[in-house]
């Protein structure tokens, strides 16, 4: 393979819909439907999309927190989807996750110290309790929290501070890759910027690779080198962050970008307002999934799914407009 640290190939996650007493499968929710992308070591890869587009499911199936129903995930050359439970548990120390909800992602019955030491205990990283404690204190300093509050419980911290604890926990096992699943969307803007800066600093310091999942386009743009846009379980566009935002190709990306409210009352711009709602992933439209809401819909879009193509160097999209 190339220099990719993480390589996702045709990843699929279909949840069965069961009905009746016999719980027969009557259909599938195609939460993720054939997603492929590479993440280079040291870069931040952003995944954006609206709720229900499958970005969170993608993140979790990469880590096999849910078992993907198809496709492969290569991490450091190893096919993660084929690993046994024991091997998987070992490799987990190299791929970590930071969650959205700073309230639900920390065990309320563990002190900060216990939370940080747990991963070390699981992976047998340090021999003595004293070493673990020392490491926990280091981690707290790294994420900018005072070590004096190590014996406090999560509820005694603010949302931003909890998110820092969650990040410290992920760092405890010295991972190479961190999947950050909406890590700042539950935070207030002033705190959000603190956490974004922290993630930035940590990446430089520890040579981390991020998959940054979010619905907020400005946040994703700020932090990512490359960005993938998802719609209804499929990747519709993927490009360098700057080129995606300057010259979006897919009509969905264009609409998404134009919908973001700009904090400048004097800015004038063209706005594309999409009609209708996101269709259900259990019953997606024919052809291109986006065609019922697309402003540039052609006849071919209704019948044939567009191909995933490199339209400009490093800029991929799936749209018939560029055929």
Partner 1 sequence: MSSLLEVSGIKTSFLTNKGYLPAIEDVSFTLDKGEVLGIVGESGCGKSVTSLSVMQLLSTNGKIEKGSIRFEGKDLVNLSDSDMRKIRGNEIAMIFQEPMTSLNPVHKIGRQISESLMLHKGMNKSQARAKAVDLLKSVGIPRAEQIVDEYPHRLSGGMRQRVMIAIAMSCDPKLLIADEPTTALDVTIQAQILDLMRKIRKEHNMAILLITHDLGVVAEMCDRVVVMYAGKVVEQGSVKEIFRNPSHPYTVGLMNSIPKLEERQARLPSIPGNVPSLELMPKGCRFATRCEFVTEKCIQEEPTLLPVEENHEARCWLMKKEEVAK
Partner 2 sequence: MAEVNMQEPETPTKLEVQLAYEGMKESNKFLRLLKAYPLVFVGGIMVLALVIIAVFAAKLAPFNPDTQFPNGLALDGAPLPPGPIFRMGTDDLGRDVMSRVIWGSQVSLEVGLMASLISLFIGTPLGIISGYYGKFVDTVIMRITDVFLAFPFILFVVALVAVLKPSVSNVFIAIGVLGWPLTARIVRGQVLAVKEFEYVQAAKALGAGSFRILFRIILPNIMAPVIVLTTLNIGNNMLLESVLSFLGIGVQPPTPSWGSMLAEGQAVFQYAPWLLYYPGFALLLAVLGFNLLGDGLRELFNPRRVR
Residue 31: HSE in the Cβ half-sphere, 13 Å Cα cutoff = 20
Q: Does 200 bind partner 2 (CB under 8 A)?
A: no
The residue from 111, 147, 194, 243 that contacts partner 1 (CB under 8 A) is: 194
Element (H, E) at 56: helix 55-62
What is the three-class DSSP state of 311?
strand
Stretch that binds partner 1, among 26-34, 123-131, 173-181, 188-196 (CB under 8 A): 188-196
Residues between 238 and 267 that touch partner 2 (CB under 8 A): none
Using alpha carbons, list the distances in angstroms from residue 218 to 192, 214, 226, 239, 279.
Answer: 12, 10, 13, 15, 25
- Listing from the earlier edge strand, what are the strands of the sheet with 209-214? 95-98, 177-181, 209-214, 44-48, 226-231, 234-240, 315-318, 308-312
Contact code string over 219-258 relative to partner 1, x by CB under 8 A: x-xxx------------------x--x---------xxxx
Residues 213 and 180 sit within 8 Å (Cβ to Cβ): yes
- Output the DSSP codes for 112-149: HHHHHHHHHHHTT--SSHHHHHHHHHHHHHHTT--GGG
183 binds partner 2 per the rule CB under 8 A = no
Contacted by 256, from partner 2, partner 1, none: CB < 5 to 8 Å by type: partner 1
Pick from 108, 261, 263, 313 the residue near partner 2 by CB under 8 A: 108
Report how many residues bind partner 1 under the rule CB under 8 A: 42
Residues forming contacts to partner 2 in the complex (CB under 8 A) are 60, 63, 65, 88-90, 92-93, 95-97, 99-101, 104-109, 118-119, 122-123, 144-146, 148, 161, 164, 166, 169, 173, 194
Residues forming contacts to partner 1 in the complex (CB under 8 A) are 50-51, 158, 160-161, 188-194, 196-197, 200, 215, 217-219, 221-223, 242, 245, 255-267, 271, 273-274, 277-278
């Amino acid at each position: 393979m190339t220099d990719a640290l993480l390589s996702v190939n045709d990843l699929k996650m279909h949840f069965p819909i069961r009905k009746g007493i016999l719980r027969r499968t009557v259909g599938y929710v195609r939460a993720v439907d054939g997603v492929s992308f590479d993440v280079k070591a040291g870069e931040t890869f952003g995944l954006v999309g609206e709720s229900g587009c499958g970005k969170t499911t993608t993140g979790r199936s990469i880590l096999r927190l849910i078992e993907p129903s198809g496709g492969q995930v290569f991490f450091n050359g190893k096919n993660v989807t084929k690993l046994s439970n024991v091997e998987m548990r070992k490799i987990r120390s190299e791929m970590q996750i930071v969650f959205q909800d700073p309230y639900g992602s920390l065990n309320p019955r563990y002190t900060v110290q216990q939370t940080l030491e747990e991963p070390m205990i699981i992976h047998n990283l340090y021999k003595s309790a004293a070493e673990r404690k020392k490491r926990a204190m280091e981690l707290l300093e790294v994420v900018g929290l005072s070590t004096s509050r190590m014996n406090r419980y999560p509820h005694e911290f603010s949302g931003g501070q909890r998110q820092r604890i969650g990040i410290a926990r992920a760092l405890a096992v010295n991972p190479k890759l961190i999947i950050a699943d909406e890590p700042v969307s539950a935070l207030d803007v002033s705190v959000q910027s603190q956490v974004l800066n922290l993630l930035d600093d940590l990446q430089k310091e520890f040579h981390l690779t991020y998959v940054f999942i979010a619905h907020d386009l400005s946040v994703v743009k700020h932090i990512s080198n490359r960005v993938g846009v998802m719609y209804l379980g499929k990747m519709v566009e993927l490009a360098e962050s700057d080129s995606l935002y300057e010259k979006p190709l897919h009509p969905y990306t264009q609409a998404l970008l134009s919908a973001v409210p700009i904090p400048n009352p004097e800015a004038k711009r063209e706005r594309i307002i999409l009609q209708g709602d996101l269709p259900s992933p259990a019953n997606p439209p024919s052809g291109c999934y986006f065609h019922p809401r697309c402003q540039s819909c052609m006849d071919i879009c209704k019948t044939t799914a567009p191909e995933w193509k490199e339209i400009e160097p490093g800029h991929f999209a799936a749209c018939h407009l560029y055929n």
